[in-house]
Amino acid sequence: MHMKCLRTALLTLALAVMPLLAGAEPVDIEVTPIPLVDSRPGETSVGVLNYRGGLHLVSRDPRFGGFSGLGLSADGRRMVSVSDAAVSFSAELTYDADGNLSGIDKADLGTLSDLDGTPLRGKRWTDAEAMSPGVEGEIIVAFERDHRLWRYDPGSTVPRVLRPPDELASMPGNDGIEALTLLQDGRLLAISEGSPDEPVRVGWVSSRNGWDVLTYQASDGFRPTGAATLPDGDVVVLERYFTPRAGVRIRIMRIAVADIQPGATISGTLLAGFAPPMNIDNFEGIEALAGQGGSTHLYLISDDNFNRGEQRTLLMMFELPGQ
């Protein structure tokens, strides 16, 4: 099977497995469609991307929120996200007649399992920050605070430990893996969040012998928060900037897959930058799917930090036109 088709098949399998391992239960979600800019509802362009719909999601369930990782089935009909509290959020996505994101249906929440099969508990153990399908159809989840990678295999509710990069052991609790994606050739790319004062972040690419180190070059105080692999094999990295005075800024960078090599310093080309008055929040999850005519659909989800008075859970869809 071609590597591009293999990743698509693995993504679909992994997304089908997620509700099983999480013991999911239905949850009521209030869904409000939002424009890209409230004051200019007809505006649909940001950078080279086109806006294809967005949703503000609210639930009375106290477990809802804090979403940091995102995955979608290959047809874009089903999504799964994981949160800072080791909760999985799964739903079916709906679209309007033009193919724009318009709503969700059949939403559920569940709790990720510990190594003994019991629900994860305690902030040190539950801080899931990224997720990716693996080469055997498993879901791989990266956790911070207690830095680790766990794989949830098809048909099993109990995770297995995946050997993490050696450097994680000495990293501060909140500076671990924030971005994780399966490349078209079956390797995993992982990037740490790092400190906003540092221009480079430690990253890794997997190999048969474990993990090889590389460096991710950030700039202007932005920090990586998510990554996804495009249909052509390149990678998009989601980056966030925040200060109390300036608020939040978001940008999406594109990295050439040929640059992702052991020992390399990689940096991206800007696809789009997001800032107020756009409808944005603390975006930490990103996924990419093939669209029509060579285009790519990008989906973003935000982490509200369970701070419902100040932040929101947003799910947004964009189109990267074909070249």
**Which DSSP string do the residues of 24-75 spell out, in sequence order?**
-EE---EEEEE-SBTT-TT--EETTEEEEEEEEEE-SSTT---EEEEEE-TT
pLDDT at residue 171 is higher than 70:
yes
pLDDT, residue 323, reads: 66
Location of structure tokens 């909140």: 174
Mean per-residue pLDDT for 240-269? 94
Q: How many helices (H) and strands (E) does the chain have?
A: 2, 24
For 39, list phi and psi in degrees, rounded to 5: -80, -15
Asked whether the predicted pLDDT for residue 306 surpasses 70, the reply is yes
What is the pLDDT at residue 172?
85
Return d(Cα 152, Cα 311) in angstroms, integer: 30
Across the chain, mean pLDDT equals: 91
Between 20-24, 200-204, 281-285, the lowest mean confidence (pLDDT) is in 20-24
**Percent of all residues in the chain with a pLDDT value above 70, rounded to a whole number:** 92
Q: Where are the domains of the chain?
A: 3-320
Average pLDDT over residues 282-308: 95
What is the rounded average pLDDT of the residues 88-95? Answer: 96
Q: What is the pTM of this model?
A: 0.94
| Three-class DSSP category at 18 | helix
Architecture of domain 3-320: 5 Propeller (2.115)
Top-confidence residue, 123 or 61: 61
Render pLDDT for 36-49 as a digit per residue (tens, 0 to 9).
999 999 999 999 99
What local confidence, expressed as pLDDT, does residue 154 receive?
84
